[in-house]
């Protein structure tokens, strides 16, 4: 585990008496669903990140989107009012290209089933991107691009069926858009895998730990905090990297996802958005009261009656209710059973009826 981490193996939330910007020296930030959604900034994100830098927290932007080169990511962030530099950005394309460069002779041709971000970083790592099997590639790399069509997927299938080493930048099944989730690289990799009859040999991006370790290495961090919206990539990656994780509710993961999640993807802290970096976080531990597991956060209390969660006190803050609901639910999950979280979801919907995450 990374020095200074607070990650717990219990069913609770360990909390932080200090604001996260002072408890950790680096925020390893996902982008889609955390800093922006599509072309637009998450409300308040730019201001929260600017204040984090002022407080002395370093920022790294780690993305599984392999379609854009790092400079395009920087340009996008700057347009949204977020200070960013090339060294701040770690893409799954960079990690994939580095993995291939460590395994192949310089100048090796690599079939790219993806976009410009992959091609540029392959060249930067001394490899030669190609687009057809007629160029005799010695490996295949696949990453998300909105412009991938059937012909390129077919060419990738041809290469994979021929037995070439195959690295996927990431396996995200969905890609966030302003209109909701759309097919991601995992879905496109799945199409090639189904046609070729095998899975990728390796995966570069989250939830593999390589991107997180690279971000910590660049910044000399001993107390990094992973910040993401997805349990199955960002938070699972944090667990795999031995780092603490903050989940924010501005993207993919919902209250149901959080309450039903296993230890393998469980966050250390919960927050509505990036303002959570500037707050202390309560300790929430399960307690046994009158023979049932009970969790309290703020003035919200949730208990598990067997496998059914009940809201003892909803409180006034939906986030406190969610924290208490998670900890009560995790005692059931960790016993190998599926909790019934209906009552908590109903109470969350009453407290914040317009919140898309409260479901």
Banded model confidence at residue 289, pLDDT cuts 50, 70, 90: confident
Summarised one tens digit per residue, pLDDT across range 82-96 is 999 999 999 999 999
Contact criterion met (CB below 8 Å) for 343 and 312: no
The stretches of 15-169 forming alpha helices (DSSP H) are 20-23, 45-54, 70-79, 92-103, 116-124, 150-161
Give the pLDDT confidence score for residue 119 in this predicted structure. Answer: 95
Query: How sure is the predictor about 6, in pLDDT bands with cuts at 50, 70 and 90?
Result: low
| Digit-coded pLDDT (tens) for 147-191 | 999 999 999 999 999 999 999 999 988 887 778 888 999 999 999
Residues with catalytic roles: 30, 32
Instruction: Report the alpha-carbon distance of residue 353 to residue 359 in Å, rounded.
Output: 10
Question: What pLDDT digit, counting tens, does each position of 290-330 carry?
Answer: 888 999 999 999 999 899 999 999 999 999 999 999 999 99
pLDDT score at 10: 63
Angle between helices 70-79 and 116-124 (to 10 degrees): 120
- DSSP 8-state symbol, 86: G
> Buried b / exposed e across 116-149, counting CB within 10 Å, b at 16+?
bbbbbbbeebebbbbeeeeeebbbbbbbbbeebe
pLDDT in tens, 33-76: 999 988 899 999 999 999 999 999 999 999 988 888 899 999 99
The number of CA neighbours under 13 Å toward the Cβ of 282 is 17
d(CA 93, CA 182): 20
Whether the pLDDT of residue 3 is over 50: the answer is no
pLDDT digits (tens, 9 = 90+) for 208-238: 999 999 999 999 999 999 999 999 889 999 9
Phi, psi for residue 205 in degrees, rounded to 5: -85, -170
DSSP run (H or E) holding 330: helix 318-333
Query: Rounded to whole angstroms, how far apart are CA atoms 327 and 193?
Result: 38
What six digits make up the tokens of 265?
A: 């993807």
**Looking at the DSSP assignment, which residues form a beta bridge with residue 302?**
295, 311
């Amino acid at each position: 585990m990374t020095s200074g981490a607070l990650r717990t193996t219990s069913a609770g939330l360990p909390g932080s008496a200090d604001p996260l910007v002072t408890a950790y020296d680096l925020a390893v930030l996902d982008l889609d669903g955390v800093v922006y959604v599509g072309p637009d900034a998450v409300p308040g994100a730019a201001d929260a990140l600017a204040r984090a830098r002022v407080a002395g927290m370093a920022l790294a932007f780690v993305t599984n989107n392999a379609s854009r080169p790092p400079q395009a990511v920087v340009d996008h962030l700057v347009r949204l009012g977020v200070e960013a530099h090339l060294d701040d950005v770690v893409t799954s394309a960079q990690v994939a290209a580095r993995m291939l460069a460590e395994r192949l002779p310089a100048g090796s041709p690599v079939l790219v089933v993806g976009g410009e971000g992959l091609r540029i970083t392959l060249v930067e790592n001394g490899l030669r991107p190609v687009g057809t099997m007629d160029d005799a590639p010695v490996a295949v790399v696949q990453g998300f691009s909105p412009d991938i069509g059937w012909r390129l997927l077919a060419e990738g299938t041809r290469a994979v069926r021929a037995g070439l080493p195959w690295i996927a930048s990431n396996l995200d099944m969905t890609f966030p858009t302003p209109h909701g989730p759309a097919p991601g690289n995992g879905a496109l990799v799945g199409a090639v895998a189904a046609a070729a009859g095998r899975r990728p040999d390796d995966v570069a991006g989250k939830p593999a730990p390589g991107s997180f370790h690279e971000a910590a290495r660049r910044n000399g961090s001993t107390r990094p905090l992973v910040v993401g919206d997805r349990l199955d990539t960002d938070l699972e990656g944090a667990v795999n990297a031995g780092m603490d994780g903050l989940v924010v509710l501005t993207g993919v993961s919902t209250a149901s996802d959080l309450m039903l999640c296993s230890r393998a993807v469980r966050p250390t802290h919960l927050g509505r958005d990036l303002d959570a970096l500037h707050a202390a976080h309560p300790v929430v531990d399960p307690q046994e009261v009158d023979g049932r597991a009970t969790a309290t956060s703020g003035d919200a209390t949730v208990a598990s009656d067997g496998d059914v969660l009940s809201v003892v006190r909803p409180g006034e803050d939906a986030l406190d209710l969610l924290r208490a609901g998670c900890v009560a639910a995790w005692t059931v999950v960790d016993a190998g059973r599926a909790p019934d979280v209906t009552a908590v979801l109903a109470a969350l919907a009453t407290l914040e009826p317009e919140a898309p995450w409260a479901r």
